[in-house]
Structure 1
Amino acid sequence: MGSAPNRAPNFHPTAMATGESADTMSLLLAWLPWLVASLFSIYLLDLLANVRRCLPPGPLPLPLIGSLHLVGDQPHRSLARLAKKHGPLMSLRLGAVTTVVASSPDVAREFLQKHDAIFATRLVNDAMGDHARDSIPWLPHAPRWRSLRKMMATELFAPHRLDALQGLRSDKVRELAAHVARLASDGAEIDVGRVAFTTMLNLLSCTIFSRDLTSLDDHGGSKEFQVLMAEIMEYGGCPNVSDFFPALARADLQGLRRRLARMFARLHVVFDEEVDRRRDQGESRKENQDFLDVLLDVAARDGGKAGLDRDTLRALFTDLFIAGSDTSSITVEWAMVELLRNPSSMTQAHEEIAQVIGSRRSIEESDIDQLPYLQAIVKETFRLHPPAPFLLPRQAQETIRIAGYMVPQGARVLVNVWAIGRDEGIWPKPDKFMPERFIGREVDYKGGDFELLPFGAGRRMCPGVPLATRMVHLVLATLLNRFKWRIPMEVERAGIDMTDKFGVTLTKAIPLCAIAIPI
């Protein structure tokens, strides 16, 4: 009888793989409850730790992202709403970072005045990259920062320096008035933000380099500068994954650091050309020195001890032009927007200027002190539309108790000046534009009164306040002195869009275009 043939055992790889997958899945399902329980325990322990640390009140954070989902693309508004629920001193965990927000004058005073030394160091956000190493706004509160700050205060923003340049500012606003008059005669719409920006930019460039960088008639060139600087402010203040999760910063996942580096490089080309041109002139400019001459003289005298190398000069000029032209023109644009929306305020401003100026065609800086309603308009604009809604963020250098709560070392600190300006406990009808609220009321916006903090306070207050306030008042007064204004019919029917765009500064999302009528 024949033997049965040998048969190979049945071998099905798919069946075996399926069996292994089933075993793996069973194992995962067995461990899943333990994993969830472990993560939940870590989350609860983290919440308990925060309670024990006695942090200021705030929203309950979610695992991993914290309260990032509550911030949105307009943090000044969302954090103001949260402060109404959790209080004027509030803490949030944004990603992996503890952030403390001050939303009232009393709490702001604690950070910016009473404990100013502990919070004098600025938080450098990741997007600023290499620029922050030499930038006065971002440098640590240390001897080098103090040296550069002192030089700016004595050589650029000192009263005698500003007084000496009154003629230059008068020339620039006359050019502005002539340019607007030409457009008015043609019935053309005027981009108020652009003409204000170009005037501020050329005023600064003449102060620093003794020449204009662009022209009011060069719509392309001046608009390019304006867009570039606006984008730097937008990307510099954009919520960034790298700031919320520092462990991921090297990856620059949103590309903000790379974008800003390219933008800064474009400005550096312009500034390098000015420096090289001046150095080539050598001894030929001993008369009528501008700010660049002063800086080069200081650098030559001390053999480099002042630290005025090429990178520092680039950073210094970048800060001056961005802060000086962008924030000032933003304020003028918002002021004109509010006046066009409030015709009675516009009429009162025109009447006051007519009474003071009389038959003269040009307005001078010395006239500003006699224009209390104009000054009130500027203050009310600062209240409703602060150029920097959070100022620049600070960082606690040590753990400290504020208003009964602990602010831990390393915490990021935001002062929401936008929320302070809209606080109905301080300002009746806070959303209404009412310059009259400042008539007969002494409110200092230069760091003395914490109800109005457009430039900050304390040792890190904006050093350019003396020049910025002169420029804003003079440009706004010139636009109102020579012209009446109206908005185009299609805008009047729809209403002026008041949407703002968040960044380091708070710009108008849709530029104001208006029609000037010569008086």
Structure 2
Amino acid sequence: MGLFTSLFWLPFLLVPLLLLFKKKTDQSNKKHNKLPPSPPKLPIIGNLHQLGELSHSSLSQLARKYGPVMLLHLGRMPVVVVSSADAAKEVLKVNDLACCSRPKLAGIGRLTYDHLDVAFSPYSECWRELRKICVLEIFSMKRVKSFRFIREEEIWSLMNSISRSSTDLVNVTEKVFVVIGSIIFRTSFGKCFYGSEFDHAKFDELVHDVAIVAGSFSYEEFFPGFGWIIDRISGHNGRVERVFQELDTFFQQAIDDHLKPGRAKHEEDIIDVMLGIENEQIRELGDHAWLTKNHIKAVLMDMFLGGIDTSSLTVIWAMTELVRNPTLMKKAQDEVRGIVGKKGRVEQTDLDQLHYNKLIIKETLRLHPPAPLLITREAISHFRINNYDICPGTLIQINAWAIGRDSNYWKNPEEFSPERFIGNNIDFKGQDFELLPFGGGRRVCPGLYMGTVTVELLLANLLYCFDWCLTDGMKETYMNIEEQGGQCVTVNKKTPLLLMPVKYLDDQAS
């Protein structure tokens, strides 16, 4: 009986000793490590109370006080926030390998079949191989060019739809999301929205739900041990599972359709490409083949999240800024109409000549990066930023929005001025750390070229085909340019962009 009693009380005696040991170890580590400055934190929740609805803006304000490398504690999670180009270079170039992993978060882990995708997967050999497939086979310049006819057909269809519209006012926000969604839908699944069982309204709703799950943490991740109770009560777990089941059903049906014997293949899409790679691996590697249907579904999920919102928001913000600046709008329209002439539409082959169009997109991505906080990284080994120690397991958040508005790098940073890029080579491909809408280093977005070609072509056609006016009585200076936050990875314009189109050519091509 005495032995049983001793064993019963042993855990209760050990816990305080372990906590004391942990406290002393943490204090010892702090003595040896020079940690970044940190705002005062509250017990249990840490700095969570200091994040507003627009997290990128809240973090930017805190960085002005505590510096461009700042340590926050979000519940149990230590997060280093980087808000300057110099510090971002330390992360994305100098110490890229030390912090190129991703945290294993429950929500996005479920949507990506336990992190089998490219965007959110932790760093591993499997991730390297999958990224190589995406870069060489899915998002290569050759593959992107092969989808040219899809982009042109969908965009020209939108232009004709606007021309035939019986209403004076067009919801540009809605139209842009629909056409980008249609392009991604055909590119990925090989069929159109129209006439399918999965119409664009349902598709848009699912994409929005995916973005919410991808951009959210669970309470259990902030507060391990008891956060799961809040997750269950709040409905977080149920929402994650519902979105996953809808996605999985849709992806499985699309894959099954592609595997049907005798399927008529009008155009090779991304599912065709990945199924072909899977079959090739099975032939060459047999039981050692590693690419599975779940990898294919996880990559399709990345297409949902990274391909629609980011491209759509870039076009919407570009149009918003041009309408607010009529002189810049006219300059852009004069360029595209002078080069395209009376053809009636802009073709992809025209894009290389549209230099001002490219400057507009650069400036839009600087001022309105669609994902203002880059996807969170996780340190896998010790390194230093600006002489501060970053320990393994620390999350790293790069505030691309703050960097793009930093007066140390940009003159009049709040002003929309495409001309600022004339005569310099700053680009958004991940090598210039003042401009990081797509990230950099090993984790730079592999679909960058596909996205920018779509944005350039859509914006050029909108500018070529129509003159755009505000509703009667509205002044450009009164346009609402507020951002809408929330849990999504991306940040939307708070109110829809409503404009009146006036056709440029009466005999516009159809």
For 1:229, the aligned partner's letter is: V
Greater CA drift, 451-460 or 497-506: 497-506
Q: Contact between 1:126 and 1:242, CA under 8 Å: does it hold in 2?
A: no
Out of 181, 186, 191, which is 2:171 matched to?
191
**One-letter amino acid matched to 1:448:** Q
Q: In structure 2, what is the Cα distance between the partners aligned to 1:214 and 1:472?
A: 22
Aligned with 2:107 (options 120, 127, 143): 127
Match of 1:513 among 487, 498, 501: 498
Aligned counterpart, 1:278: 258
Q: Is the 8 A contact 1:80 1:419 kept in 2?
A: yes
Paired position in structure 1 for 2:200: 222
Provide the rounded CA distance (Å) in 1 between the counterparts of 2:46 and 2:27: 11
Match of residue 356 from structure 1: 339
Cα deviation, residue 509, structure 1: 2.2
1:353-374 Cα shifts (integer Å, max 9, x gaps): 1111112211122222212211
- 1:145-182 C-alpha deviation (Å, 9 max, x unpaired): 11211111122211122222222222221111111111
Amino acid at match of 1:200: I
Query: Residue deviations 1:250-284, cap 9 Å, x none?
Result: 44254334313312322332222221112113576
The TM-score with structure 1 as length reference comes to 0.85
Listed as ranges, the matches of 1:16-415 within 5 Å are 50=30, 53-132=33-112, 133=114, 134-183=116-165, 186-214=166-194, 221-238=199-216, 240-251=218-229, 252-253=231-232, 254-282=234-262, 285=265, 288-303=267-282, 305-415=288-398
Moved over 4 A (4+): 42-52, 282-285, 490-494
Mapped to 1, the partners of 2:401 and 2:476 lie a distance apart of 29
1:220-265 Cα deviation digits (max 9, x unpaired): 9323322331232234324643332233454425433431331232
SS in 1 for 2:403: helix
Distance 1:125 1:507 in 2: 24
Quote the offset at 1:478 in angstroms: 0.6
Shift, 1:43, TM fit: 10
Letter of the 2:67 counterpart: G
How far the C-alpha of 1:115 sits from its partner, in A, is 0.9
1:447 and 2:445 correspond: no
Separation in 2 of the partners of 1:489 and 1:331? 26
Distance in 1 separating the partners of 2:237 and 2:479: 34
The 8 Å contact of residues 386 and 454 in structure 1, kept in 2 or not, is answered as yes
Greater Cα offset, 386-395 or 262-271: 262-271
Q: 1:284 to 1:214 in 2, by over 3 A?
A: closer
How many angstroms does 1:440 deviate by? Answer: 2.0
Q: Are the counterparts in 2 of residues 198 and 214 from structure 1 also a CA contact under 8 Å?
A: no
| Structure 1 position 127, deviation (Å) | 2.6
Equivalent pair of 2:110/2:244 in contact (CA under 8 Å)? no
Distance 1:493 1:335 in 2: 14
Segments of structure 2 that go 5 or more residues without pairing to the other structure are 1-18, 505-510
Identity %, equivalent residues: 35
Check conservation: 2:362, 2:418, Cα contact below 8 A. yes
Alignment: residue pair count: 473
**Tell me, what secondary structure is at the counterpart of 1:246?**
coil
Amino acid at match of 1:291: I
Letter in 1 for 2:467: K
Aligned CA distance change for structure 1 residues 48 and 67 (closer, same or farther; 3 Å): farther
Checking the alignment, whether the CA contact within 8 Å between 2:470 and 2:476 is kept in structure 1 is no
Deviations 1:371-422 (A, max 9, x none): 2211111011101111111110011112222211111111110000000011
Cα distance 1:379–1:246, how it changes in 2: closer, same or farther (>3 A)? farther
Using the TM superposition, give the Cα deviation of residue 298 of structure 1 relative to its aligned residue in structure 2, in angstroms. Answer: 2.1
For the Cα contact (< 8 Å) 1:155–1:291, is it kept in 2? no
CA–CA separation in structure 2 for the residues paired with 1:234 and 1:343? 35
- Do the aligned partners of 1:196 and 1:329 also contact (CA within 8 Å) in 2? yes
- Closer, same or farther: CA 484–44 of 1 in aligned 2, 3 Å: farther
The Cα of 1:52 is off from its aligned counterpart by 5.1
Answer whether contact 1:194 1:226 (CA < 8 A) is retained. Answer: no
Distance 1:243 1:515 in 2: 47
Query: Which piece of structure 1 moves more, 164-173 or 146-155?
Result: 164-173
Larger radius of gyration: 1
CA deviation vs aligned residue, 1:48-78 (integer Å, no higher than 9, x gap): 9646531111212222222222112211001
Among candidates 442, 460, 470, match of residue 487 of structure 1: 470
CA root-mean-square deviation = 2.6
Structure 1 residue matching 2:336: 3-state secondary structure: helix
How far 1:491 sits from its partner (Å)? 5.4
Q: Which residue of 1 is the match for residue 508 of structure 2?
A: none
Distance 1:165 1:128, change over 3 A: closer
Separation in 2, partners of 1:428, 1:177: 36
Are residues 81 and 47 of structure 1, via their aligned partners in 2, closer, same or farther at CA, if it must alter by over 3 Å?
farther
CA offsets, 1:181-228, max 9 Å, x none?
112xx234222222222222222222232211348xx9x932332233
Q: Decide whether the 8 Å contact of 2:98 with 2:381 is kept in 1.
A: yes
Structure 1 residues 310, 354: closer, same or farther in 2, change over 3 A? same
TM-score, normalized by length of structure 2? Answer: 0.86
Q: Does the 8 A contact of 1:236 with 1:260 survive in 2?
A: no
Query: Structure 1 unaligned runs (5+)?
Result: 1-38
Q: Which has the higher mean CA deviation after the structures are superposed, 450-459 or 336-345?
A: 336-345
> Residue in 1 aligned with 2:460?
477
